[in-house]
Chain A
């Protein structure tokens, strides 16, 4: 019962006078709130013309305030003209905010916000200052950059792959300069050979998006992406035994690669990758 009352009171008082103390630990909280309520009741009494009141009656009135209380009418009541402003609770060693930078006038509080509330942020914080990197407009540089980034990514990736797996070499005495990822037979070689790679399909989707017809072959191709697979990449384990999936060589890496290659452009395509880069999941044709 007391709890319920306390909650209601807290709600009531919170709306009226802020919830400064509501962050105190439980005991403190109750005490502080009680005290605040008493202050409120007292001020109401003062407003009503009383000069003094017995403690017991204040207690009773406080209890009443907690119990029956109409929230709806509060705002109007709060804005009444002859209201009495409760003084701020005493704050010990209030930190003085150093005025580092001031630009323009701070906005004053609207009338219903007590002045002891924190001030609005400095006006300059509201100013939008869009900043861009200097747009590179030179076509040649762009192409150059795209090409070399792409190449770097490819090389890094293939070297990484070569380092982590079996390799073949063109020179007997050197295996690291031109490492070739070892040839590995597929169980179903024609699938990898014939089905478009994911990168290609992605491109096809993009280039074809305007002229979508039901011929877009992408939709029916089974492509399975699961978060579980993605983790494989980083565990550096050998690729799972190939299955009937078209990308049976290295499913997850492929995807990462696709996205990396895709990123390397002068447009930022990040949102695209995050949201729509992957074709619909595994809509396998029923057969």
Chain B
């Protein structure tokens, strides 16, 4: 205990921000309720053991706020943005036989995302005011998710990372399966199968990397970075991790769980899925693939760029064809994640920091859009665009909010999305690593995606708000008691909380980019060094061939 006090003389903010929501979650069963919840099973079928609904809401908001405040305090008091190394280090031994330590820390890659996570989760709890069915379990799961998500970003031990990565699947599975839409079983099962199975690759890679480390395996990131794997094993590890994180990001051939899951989730869950879960994939790609496996990253970078371009265009085009509002927005977030991939693969610090900014800005914009979709669904009871229309006259405030969010999402100049996309594309096109022709082709394809995005987003706005009121000729939408309900103050508050940072970042991006600049620069310079060192022919000619030919020859591994 003495050594513990002397070595950690400061407050462990990260641990507090993880443990407090968890404690809050496990104390939920003791919240007082008036009726016994199990008087008759029929009570449960009719839903809603809303006996302590009000207390539950404020209670969970309180705990998520504590979590948010402690991450902010950690950022203010102990985080120095000019340092590229690890800060806020907290390390305790947990299960020595697995070499599993409770070791947390934050650097430029994780600190902004930790802040984003606690912020968005806080707002998601505020957004779940509308949940009436089994609120006790719902808020329990939200708090557990809060803890698990922050831990994913803060973990500095690969086994701890795997543990929290898996831990956050269960709440999402239950949140989808219990509170989802009509096809919720299918969506939830698909989600957990995709992500649970892909995450086993993380375990494989952790074992592989740690076994290269010498006699005493250690899963700390710092030790793994020191382990010099040979190029072949790096490439195998990289490919495995690309599958694991590509499912989460998602990268296009592995994306099919996402429209289903997003299409069935309720609004708060949706905010978390789009705002944070997708960022885990991007963060993990940065953390493991780019940082720990630089040699393989040099080999795979063109593939990432190509996949990113495919993501952007494919998802944007698919979004056209979708009829459901939620699925449209879901595909739009896949499209936005394509920029993250391009930024990761570009091997330039401007572009990589653009990718980071894209993650943050999509975390804010995506969450707000999905929240608004939920708000529309609450009022119209339908998700099919064909059944909607002309509600702009009745819901003026909601119309305004929708317009702002859509403009933010389509990267209007002055919003953070624009800055991020420009940074990614500018950084990529000026990157010295790739040939000019490759750069031009990818830039054109990505720009095509950027052009398609406004088209479908504005089409959504048009179909939703303009035109004839669908209620006049179609009795499906706008049930009579909801006709005059416009956005309530709570909803306006949530959206403004999400949009104001978007505008601030859009006008003055350095407020965000400075916080991770040095980390990204250190990361990219290492990757570029690896690229120039390991590739035999000049780096400028790297991508003159088709990128897939750069992939390893499998016969060499046998």
Binding between chains A and B: no
Chain B residues with CB under 8 Å of chain A are: none
